[in-house]
Amino acid sequence: MTTVPFLDVAATARWVARRGPQAVIARLIDALAADFARWPELDKRARIASHSRDGVIELMPTSDDTTYGFKFVNGHPRNPARGYQTVTAFGVLADVRNGYPTFLAEMTLLTALRTAATSGLAARLLARPDSRTLALLGTGSQSEFQALGMRAALGITRLRAWDTDPGALAKLARNARALGFEVHEASSAADAVTGADVITTCTADKTNATVLTQEMVQALAHPGVHVNAIGGDCPGKTELDPRILAGADVFVEYEPQTRVEGELQQMPEAFGVTELWEVVTGRRPGRRGVGRTPAGAGAPFERGVGERAALDATGVTVFDSVGFAVEDWATLRFVHDDVPADLLRHLDLVAEPDDPKDLFSLVRAADEAGAPDPDAAPGDAAPGDAAPGDAAPAGRADDASARRALDRLMGLAGRDGRDTLLAGTAARRG
């Protein structure tokens, strides 16, 4: 029987704890660089977004000629006030030769790691190499990972953090100090960015916010500051004063997607940007003197090649990050190769009858093995199961068979166990 390895949330957390979160992010930066260097070979498309009043649910597919992958992810900025995460995700890899899934993983933690690694890759290419201080605007779920990404990429150990929620700010300070960072709990966004070499905006608000102004960047931050803008990632959801973009060199993941979802939605179509893969491969320059050949990137990492001169030490760079499918696919493949077997579970996810054309044989075999079904609708009842007059109404029968399917999926023997579990979930959700 083909089973599909599955990495759940607890196992992901254990894997990260074993390896060390910064070490994982550092290795992911290299994995991303290697895949960005293969950009022209990859299947690329803007993600499919389903918007609703409270947020968005997105599907993010990509592939090469051997491995397909997609991520399911949501973004609901008001979720934390209701006790839920703003972002949750899971992802799948599949073999393009037969289309069978080969790996299934939670991707909420993995998204935080990959987003930190993507910011790290951008910073390695675009920030000044002598950067020492990071301003973090927004100290929710992504923030510790973003801090670790900057330490992995640039050796940054000083944080200046700001959040409109004092509880979130205190949480970041607590976690970051435990990780060895020196933390300044700022009294405002302007206080946070004062003297910063890198600014990461990771706020969640479904509006065109101005978390960072041009005045802060020009007058308060260190000259030559690099900005990672990660929270503006949906139509109508941005963080930056557009004048910052107008005065900066702007880098994106995949331009067609970022034009719709990123800070770029505030700029005219003709506003020029550089895709990050072009810097990874040396087609376009990053900041002079920064970076080294990404491990596994293949081609030599030439500086100053391309239409524009290499960026100098005083120019502002912006990485307008929205999150792109290639990053999740690279992460899933990295995790699949790195996670030890003892952390994986195996799911019976692929139907495999002996005769590939006899899918019904699975139902037949289960029916022969199973007990009579008291809730079955008349047409489905096995001979002798129940008298026609005793059969449940069709709606009830559907409900009952859905309940039994759910019980089987959850590995519960009967309805009582399922009800207890669902009641527990409802109680936790309030």
Ligand X SMILES: NC(=O)c1ccc[n+]([C@@H]2O[C@H](COP(=O)([O-])OP(=O)(O)OC[C@H]3O[C@@H](n4cnc5c(N)ncnc54)[C@H](O)[C@@H]3O)[C@@H](O)[C@H]2O)c1
Q: Which residues are catalytic?
A: 233
How many whole angstroms separate alpha carbon 13 and alpha carbon 27? 16
Per CB under 6 A, 80 contacts ligand X: yes
How far apart are CB 176 and ligand X at their closest, in Å?
Answer: 14
Contact with ligand X (CB under 6 A) among 8, 86, 132, 191: 86
137 binds ligand X (CB under 6 A): yes
Closest contact distance (angstroms) between CB of 113 and ligand X is: 10
Question: How many residues bind ligand X, per CB under 6 A?
Answer: 29
3-state secondary structure of 86: coil
Residue type for position 113: L
Contacts (CB under 6 A) with ligand X, residues 139-178: 139-142, 162-165, 168
Residues 64 and 38 sit within 8 Å (Cβ to Cβ): yes
Report the residue number, 197 or 239, with the smaller CB distance to ligand X.
239
Radius of gyration of the chain (CA): 25
Neighbours of 73 (CB within 10 A): 22
- Minimum distance from residue 371 beta carbon to ligand X (Å): 46
Instruction: For residue 270, give every residue at least 6 positions away whose Cβ sits within 8 Å of its Cβ, in sequence order, or none.
Output: none
The nearest distance, CB 80 to ligand X, in angstroms, is: 5
Q: Which of 83, 42, 59 is nearest to 277 (CA)?
A: 42
From the list 5, 231, 286, 291, which residue makes contact with ligand X (rule: CB under 6 A)? Answer: 231
CA distance 22 to 4: 28
Q: Which stretch binds ligand X (CB under 6 A): 122-130, 132-140, 173-181, 353-361?
A: 132-140
Cβ closest to ligand X, residue 233 vs residue 249: 233
Residue 115 or 281: which CB sits closer to ligand X? 115
**Residue 62 binds to ligand X (criterion: CB under 6 A):** no
Q: Find the residue with minimal CB distance to ligand X.
A: 140
Residue with Cβ nearer ligand X (166 or 372): 166
Question: Distance between CA atoms of 124 and 324, rounded to whole angstroms?
Answer: 18
- Helix then strand count (H, E) for the chain reads 14, 17
Near ligand X in 351-370, by CB under 6 A: none
Contact region with ligand X (CB under 6 A), list: 180-188, 321-329, 351-359, 364-372: 321-329
DSSP-based helix, strand, coil % in the chain, nearest 5: 40, 20, 40
Which CB atom, from 4 or from 126, has the smaller least distance to ligand X? 126
Which residue type sits at 211?
A: V
2 CB-side CA count, 13 A: 13
Residues in CB range of 354: below 8 A, 6 or more apart: 361
Q: Which is nearer to ligand X, 157 or 208 (CB)?
A: 208
Beta strands in 230-335 (DSSP E): 238-240, 249-252, 274-275, 317-320
Give the residue, chosen from 63, 317, 323, 331, that forms a contact with ligand X under the rule CB under 6 A.
323
Structure tokens at 382: 């096995």
Binding ligand X (rule: CB under 6 A), the pick from 8, 43, 191, 205 is 205
Interface ranges with ligand X (CB under 6 A): 75, 80, 86-87, 111, 115, 137-142, 162-165, 168, 202-205, 209, 211, 230-231, 233, 321-323
